[in-house]
Structure formats: C-alpha cells, structure tokens
Amino acid sequence: MAQFTNQAQLTYNNFVTNSNIAVGEILEVLSATKTAVQDTYGRDDRVTYLVSIVNSGTTAQSQLTLTDNLGAYSFGTMNPTQLVPLTYVEDTVKYYINGVLQPTPPVIAGPPLVISNITIPAGGNVLIAYEAQTNQYAPITTGARILNRVTISGNCISDITVEETVLAESEPLLSITKSVSPVPVTENGVLTYTFVIQNTGNTAATVADAAVITDTFDPILTNLSVTFNGTTWTEGANYTYNVITGLFATLPGQITVPAATYTQNPVTGVWTTNPGVSTLVVSGVV
C-alpha cells in the first residue's frame, strides 16, 4: 500500500494561502518477494532464487517483465564500471502459475537477466525459479556479500523492486595432494611422501575443525620421520602408525591450515585466490 499527499494553494490580492494536506493511499495490486534458497555462496557456486508475485486484483496482469541485475555493483573510483558477480545458468528458469508448471517464457541471459511475457491471473500468483552461478567478480572475503535486485515492470503497473542478499561462506575449504620421492627408490632406501594441504576458504582450519589425514603405506615403511610445516612430530602425540598394516593417521586437531587471501585486480576487478598452505612430510625406510 503506497501513501500520497496533496496540498492546494490559493492566491488573491497578492495574498497566498495554503490548504490542509490531504493524505490518500493507493492499494497496490501486485506484490512480490525474492528469496535465495541458500543464504551463503562459495567460489563457482550455484544460487537458486525464487521470485513470487501475487495479484490481489480482479483483473489479470499480462506482458510483465522480470529484470534481475545479477548482483551488479560499482567498481573503481576514477572511472567506475559495473561488475556482475553472478552468471545466469542456462535453461534453469521454471515458471509456475498458481502452482502449475508452465512453458518457459522468453529469457535473455544478460546481464541483466530478463524474463518476459509473464502473466498473473486475477487473484492468482506466479512463482519463478532460476539459478545463477558466482563468477570471477564475486567477492569471497570474510563478510562479503552479493546484493541481488529484481525489478518487475509492465505497461499498467508501477515498477516493483525486490532484493535479496547472500553472504560469502565463512569456513575452511581444504584440498590435499600427495607426492613421492625418489622415483624409483632402491630397496632399503628412504622413501618420502609429501602431503600439501591447501585452504581456499576465507577461514583458517583450526584445532576445532579436527582435520585428519590417513594413509596406508604400501610398501610398508619403517623408522618413520614426520614433520609438519617444518616441525618434527612424535608418534603418539601427533600421529599413530601401525608397522604391521602400514596404516598412518594424524591425530584429530593436529592439522591446521591458514585461511586463503584474496586480491582483486584494480583494473579488471577479477578476484584471485591465494590458498593457505600446510605441508606434512613422512619419510621411512622401504
């Protein structure tokens, strides 16, 4: 419901007098909401949006257009440009009228994303669902967010604007690679396994995350020597090892990895991830 005010003015014999202020209200026929199915996002992540439009009037509304700015934001100070952190995922639009799936309306991927020829029956509702994927312009630092704006327009209505905000995930995101040297190794020689753990998340992996590395060495190693980030580890305090089965396991909370750092190119606006890294080195006699 929108409120409006109006005041009249009377002039006579060089006098001016104003009327009282009349207040009125316009009952809006259409209303809309926008919701993200998940409230956080990560790198190259998909976000599903739901746009609900309700027609409380007695006349159907047709030829409506939905325009989504895909999170566009201003970048730069000297010559600001618009960066768009979301990319529409092709063929994901679903269009429901009163809960019944309809043929997909015309879609322009953009940016901005444009969905046209939307019809809402009298006293009815429409639900439009679609997916967008984060791209190289999506900020993923701690506290980052994407504000997404949708405008619904048509010939017989005032534009309706609705927004939704999703936050960058605040958690570690770990991966691990393993290498062996030397290759080949001589019998009764020393074999070394190097485990590199990378964190592309914006939060460090701490003791509380209880990260554990397990590996069954084949061939079985003896006389183990273990270091983590250059610090010597002790069996029983930092890891366990079964010389019969070759099963090696770090104890919970011993593996920690710093958070990634992120840089945004001052010219292109592209975000680059610099992973946090920790290294576990295990050596033993074959």
Residue 10: what pLDDT? Answer: 79
d(CA 28, CA 42): 37
Contact present, 5 and 21 (Cβ < 8 Å): yes
The larger pLDDT score, comparing residue 254 to residue 5, is at 254
d(CA 26, CA 3): 6
d(CA 135, CA 137): 5
Residue 3: what pLDDT? Answer: 57
d(CA 40, CA 38): 6
In the DSSP assignment, the letter for residue 267 is T
Q: List, in order, residues 6 or more apart from 262 with CB less than 8 Å away.
A: 139, 140, 141, 202, 271, 272, 273, 274
Note the residue count of the chain: 286
Give tens-digit pLDDT for 226-271.
999 999 999 999 999 999 999 999 999 999 999 999 999 999 999 9
d(CA 38, CA 41): 8
Residue 18: what pLDDT? Answer: 83
How do 174-181 and 113-120 pair as beta strands? unpaired
Per-residue tokens: 254 = 């011993």
d(CA 177, CA 197): 7
Give tens-digit pLDDT for 167-211.
999 999 999 999 999 988 888 899 999 999 999 999 999 999 999
Domains of the chain, each with CATH number or no CATH: 31-168 (2.60.40.740), 174-285 (2.60.40)
- Which residue do the tokens 């939307």 mark? 118
Average pLDDT over the chain reads 93
